[in-house]
Amino acid sequence: MEHRPLKPAADTREHLVVIGNGMAGCRAVEELLARDPNRYRVTIFGAEPRVNYNRIMLSPVLAGEKCFDDIVINDAAWYADNGIALVAGDPVLAIDRAAKTVMTRSGLSEAYDRLLIATGSDPFIIPVPGKDLPGVIAFRDMDDVDTMLAAADAGGDAVVIGGGLLGLEAAHGLSLRGMKVTVIHLMPTLMERQLDEAAGWLLKNALEARGQTILTGADTAEIVGDGKVEGVKLKDGTLIPASLVVMAVGIRPSVALARDAGLAVGRGIQVDDHMVTSDPAVLAVGECVEHDGQVYGLVAPLWDMCRSLADGLVEKPSGYRGSVTSTKLKVSGIDVFSAGDFSGGDGCEDIVLRDASRGVYKRVIVKDDRIVGAVLYGDTADGSWYFDLLKKQEDVSDLRDLLIFGQAFAAGGGAADPKAAVAALSDDAEICGCNGVTKGQVVSCIAKGAHSLDAVRGTCKASASCGSCTGLVENLLALTLGDEVQSGPKTMCKCTSFGHDDVRREIVAQAMRSIPEVMQQLHWTTPDGCSSCRPALNYYLLCALPGDYVDDQQSRFVNERLHANIQKDGTYSVVPRMWGGLTNPTELRAIADVVEKYNAPMVKVTGGQRLDIFGIKKEDLPAVWADLNAAGMVSGHAYGKALRTVKTCVGSEWCRFGTQDSTGLGVKLERMSWGSWMPHKFKIAVSGCPRNCAEATIKDFGVVCVDSGYELHVGGNGGIHVRATDLLCKVATEQEAMDHCAAFIQLYREEARYLERTAPWIERVGLAHIVARIVDDEPGREALRARFLFSQSFSQDDPWAQRAEGAEAEHHAPMARFTPQEELA
């Protein structure tokens, strides 16, 4: 860029010097020129060796959708026409406020009457070893894009650190340019500051489908390479090869110049409502400023700032009041929008619409009849409408019911009653898109006697697949029958219109793999479920995908998370496994030692023939387990929806009545089935003769030994509603008893609803069904048994041993301790 003479002869106007030839600096000048083109003589200093361009369009340039010329905002002619002197490629290094001059790197010194700082932001570089290697870059300006394009030409692997807006746009561009891209993101969901978990999950899926590797919850340890980047190493030891590393973990306002000049600086350069800094001659605008405690990283606020700034410069002050922002991801084919606050909280109501077939997730957050936030995925057409309502703080109570369907719908129907809207539909209007059922068909099926949602689903199939038309069908029922509608099937919880069985069937049929996926595909009406559905979904997925599904710890009750039973005072009880109720001196000594060492106030023999150590503090649990492990004992799962105990009697080994080795069989059954997660707790017992000292006939699975073999009993229960078992069948050998037991457990695991014990399950499905599946159908039984044993091959991992070794140690220790006495001293 050639240097123009900075001061035309005899120009006596006040001199405005702008530091930063970026989006805010130039916009401020444009706003000023629009108000009074002759008021100031203007000089702009820019560190970048080029004219002013649209920084946000660097992403499309990287993706090959645009070239640099397309994104120039003000070309050389603009500067010339408006008499602006541009000094490009020569950054300002110092401001002398006393002398009112600025000094550049090349040694140029320029006097100002008013100074405008618009230096933008600096990319944040995480301080890991290797951060300075050639090939590690940020994504901020055209030079970075040029570096990326050169790397892409050479091909190979790229790693993008940071799964926010910037990182994902970089990853998208590089991947379109043919690089194999891995995104490393510290948080569990992508763009967590703009998106909720549900939308973040959809986004991750879409990007993975395009061939990117997305690693969430991944922490960078170092960047490795000899003279240039060769890869990125994560804290867990994984090494990802890369010839290019893009750091997009965040930005920091660029305040060094201002701070050195002694201006007031917080997170950014502090300005008042007229963008004036602590020195009245110096103004600041853009990402480098802090206004009212806020700093911004998007362009919309800059436009507002620039207006107020220009108003102030021509002495017609208006005053900037802060901005509400919205975000859109610029990745072609993936529509994401977010605005406002979506963290929920009191008085906030979520309105959620999910349409699995179109891959749509929409969530609008309403508080006191006003929209406070919106997250849209897949269909962002109404983003600007919601954002507008949000900014204007408009009362949406009249639109409430139709709000989520978007502007066209809500505006058209106004405050219309949804029932009236359904009534107005023609007979051939399609109600259920999945099964192609029209309104006329649904109405005639209701007229023929289908008087409940379930009945409609069963007869004409409307709302039987994805369920998104459930509301429409319910309205049709109400319209056709008036008050006669029978309430629908019991839903899993208030987050969904589906019952447990529907959810399970769909999980298997659609091969779903994660909780957010189920919530999306089945149109959950809450963003992240509740304490009823989360544990159930976690179990259903675990059962459907043994060895594959990664258990979601935050969807488990505390006992299953900590592998101990919470007691009413917040301490825990610990029950080590004693196979079949047998123990030995080593184990007893270890238990006695634990009781003394950790001051356990009580030890009790349980109803299931185990020893229960009470009053253990949460932070002592790992040490207790380590001590018990050392004596060969593992977790007794006395806390879980899992196999609890196998109770046995002494049997033929010792007892004069004993017919078979009940103790030995009990031990074998326990070794086979421990560690397996189930819909609810599961108890087994084996008695050596019909005197039944082990109380096998009130267990979920009970064996009563007789001379000729083994009677197998199922579905017993102690507890509030005592239920004696039903006799399933009689078998001749121990092996058969074991096989039937495995098959029965698996059938229960696959068919019972979460939190349904075997007793109510059998009463619901009928003993005949169990007999047909387990006794009459030998290949079926064999398949069930095989599935159980397969699943067991992944679950018999002592949770105590893992934790005693330090896994999840942080769950046990407090994060900090506070001692008031020391504080006050």
Partner 1 sequence: MTATAEWLDIGWVDQIPVRGSRTVQVEGGDDIALFRTAEGKVFALLDRCPHKHGRLSQGIVHGGAVACPLHNWRISLSTGEALGDDKGCTPTVPVKIDGGRVLICRASTLKAAA
Ligand X SMILES: Cc1cc2nc3c(=O)[nH]c(=O)nc-3n(C[C@H](O)[C@H](O)[C@H](O)COP(=O)(O)OP(=O)(O)OC[C@H]3O[C@@H](n4cnc5c(N)ncnc54)[C@H](O)[C@@H]3O)c2cc1C
Short-list 500, 612, 633, CA closest to 565: 612
Taking the least distance from each CB to ligand HEM, the nearer of 691 and 764 is 691
> In the complex, which residues of this chain contact ligand SF4 (CB under 6 A)?
649-651, 655, 657-658, 662, 687-689, 691-693
53 Cα distance to chain centroid? 36
- CA 538-539-540 angle, to 5 degrees, is 95
Q: Going by C-beta distance under 8 Å and a sequence separation of 6 or more, which residues neighbour residue 457?
A: 463, 464
CB 354 to partner 1: min, Å: 16
DSSP letters spanning 45-69: EESSSS-EE-GGGHHHHHHTS--HH
| Contact string (CB under 8 A) for partner 1, positions 160-199, x = contact | --------------------------xxxx--xx--xx--
Note whether 118 and 284 are within 8 A (CB).
yes
CB 757 to ligand SF4: min, Å: 24
Assess 565 for contact with ligand X (CB under 6 A). no
Distance CA 104, CA 116 (A): 15
A 10 A CB-CB count for 260 gives: 12
Taking the least distance from each CB to partner 1, the nearer of 52 and 538 is 538
DSSP letters spanning 480-544: HHGGGPBP-PPPSSTT-S--HHHHHHHHHHTT--SHHHHHHHTT-SSSS--TTHHHHHHHHHHHH
Copy the structure tokens of residue 308: 């107020």
Taking the least distance from each CB to partner 1, the nearer of 534 and 787 is 534
Note whether 688 and 705 are within 8 A (CB).
yes
Taking the least distance from each CB to ligand HEM, the nearer of 179 and 578 is 578
Taking the least distance from each CB to ligand SF4, the nearer of 645 and 687 is 687
- Binding segment for ligand X among 15-23, 530-538, 634-642, 671-679 (CB under 6 A)? 15-23
Taking the least distance from each CB to ligand SF4, the nearer of 309 and 649 is 649
CB 383 to ligand X: min, Å: 13
- Binding segment for ligand HEM among 313-321, 477-485, 652-660, 711-719 (CB under 6 A)? 652-660
Taking the least distance from each CB to ligand X, the nearer of 173 and 225 is 173
Distance CA 159, CA 62 (A): 15
Distance CA 613, CA 597 (A): 12
Of the candidates 117, 616, 693, 705, which one interacts with ligand HEM according to CB under 6 A? 693
Of the candidates 32, 42, 58, 375, which one interacts with ligand X according to CB under 6 A? 58
Q: Residues 317 to 376: which contact ligand X by CB under 6 A? A: 330
CB 203 to ligand X: min, Å: 15
Assess 176 for contact with ligand X (CB under 6 A). no
CB 303 to ligand X: min, Å: 10
Note whether 327 and 375 are within 8 A (CB).
no
Distance CA 544, CA 559 (A): 22
CB 762 to ligand SF4: min, Å: 24
In this structure, which amino acid lies at residue 801?
A
Distance CA 145, CA 48 (A): 13
Of the candidates 480, 526, 692, 802, which one interacts with partner 1 according to CB under 8 A? 526
67 Cα distance to chain centroid? 36
Of the candidates 649, 684, 738, 774, which one interacts with ligand HEM according to CB under 6 A? 649
Residue corresponding to tokens 């004696």: 724
Taking the least distance from each CB to ligand SF4, the nearer of 421 and 706 is 706
Residue 438 has φ and ψ, to the nearest 5°, of -90, 170
CA dihedral for 698, 701, 704, 708, sign (positive or negative): positive
CB 769 to partner 1: min, Å: 31
Distance CA 176, CA 62 (A): 9
Distance CA 201, CA 212 (A): 14
Rounded alpha-carbon distances, angstroms, from residue 294 to 20, 120, 288 = 21, 14, 11
- Binding segment for ligand HEM among 50-58, 647-655, 710-718, 741-749 (CB under 6 A)? 647-655
Assess 691 for contact with ligand HEM (CB under 6 A). yes
Assess 695 for contact with ligand HEM (CB under 6 A). yes
- Binding segment for partner 1 among 343-351, 501-509, 675-683, 776-784 (CB under 8 A)? 343-351
Assess 650 for contact with ligand HEM (CB under 6 A). yes
Note whether 493 and 487 are within 8 A (CB).
no
- Binding segment for ligand X among 17-25, 312-320, 332-340, 472-480 (CB under 6 A)? 17-25
SS (H, E, C) 553-571: HHHCCHHHHHCCEECCCCC
Assess 38 for contact with partner 1 (CB under 8 A). no
Assess 151 for contact with ligand HEM (CB under 6 A). no
* The entry of partner 1, ligand HEM, ligand X, none that residue 485 binds, CB within 5 to 8 Å by partner kind: none
* The entry of partner 1, ligand SF4, ligand HEM, none that residue 526 binds, CB within 5 to 8 Å by partner kind: partner 1
CB 69 to ligand X: min, Å: 17
Note whether 379 and 362 are within 8 A (CB).
yes
Q: Residues 253 to 312: which contact ligand X by CB under 6 A? A: 254, 257, 286-288, 297-300, 302
Taking the least distance from each CB to ligand SF4, the nearer of 652 and 802 is 652
Distance CA 67, CA 58 (A): 9
Binding interface with partner 1 (CB under 8 A): 186-189, 192-193, 196-197, 342-346, 348, 350, 526-531, 534-535, 553-559, 561-562, 566, 568-570, 810-811, 814-821, 823
Where does this chain bind ligand HEM (CB under 6 A)? 649-650, 654-655, 657, 691, 693, 695
Contact set with ligand X (CB under 6 A): 19-25, 45-48, 55-56, 58-59, 91-92, 118-120, 139-140, 166, 169, 254, 257, 286-288, 297-300, 302, 330
